[in-house]
C-alpha cells in the first residue's frame, strides 16, 4: 500500500467489511470478475490452510483472515505494526 495524502478525511477511511482486497482474498466468488486470490490456490479460506512465520509460529487461514480484517478496521496503517484485536 502506498501512502496517499488525501485532503478529504472520508477518503482516508477504510471499509473493513467491503474492502476489495479483503473480498478477493476471502470470498470464493472473488471480486469484479476476478477469482479468489491466489489463482490456483492455496487460499486463506481453504479448510486446513496455515502458514509458518519466520519465527516458527503457525498461523491458520482463519487467523490470517481476521488479522487482515482488523488491519483494515484500524485504517490499514503502513507503519510495520501488527493490528490490535478489534
How many residues in total does the chain contain?
86
Q: Does a structural domain hold residue 1?
A: no
Q: Does a structural domain hold residue 7?
A: no
* Full pLDDT tens readout for the chain, 86 residues: 444 444 555 655 677 778 888 888 888 898 889 888 888 889 988 989 999 999 999 999 999 989 888 888 877 777 666 555 54
| CB-based burial, 17-35: b 16+ in 10 Å, e otherwise | eebeebbbbbeeeebeeee
Q: Dihedral through CA 26, CA 36, CA 80, CA 53, nearest 10?
A: 80
Q: Does a structural domain hold residue 27?
A: yes
Q: Does a structural domain hold residue 68?
A: yes
Domain count, the chain: 1
Q: What is the pLDDT of residue 85?
A: 54
d(CA 79, CA 20): 21
Q: pTM to 2 decimals? A: 0.69
| 85 secondary structure, DSSP code | P
Amino acid at each position: 500500500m502506498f501512502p496517499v495524502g488525501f485532503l478529504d478525511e472520508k477518503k482516508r477511511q477504510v471499509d473493513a467489511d467491503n474492502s476489495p482486497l479483503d473480498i478477493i482474498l476471502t470470498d470464493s466468488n472473488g471480486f469484479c470478475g476476478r477469482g479468489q486470490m491466489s489463482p490456483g490456490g492455496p487460499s486463506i479460506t481453504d479448510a486446513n490452510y496455515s502458514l509458518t512465520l519466520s519465527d516458527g509460529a503457525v498461523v491458520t487461514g482463519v487467523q490470517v483472515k481476521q488479522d487482515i480484517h482488523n488491519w483494515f478496521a484500524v485504517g490499514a496503517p503502513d507503519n510495520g505494526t501488527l493490528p490490535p484485536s478489534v
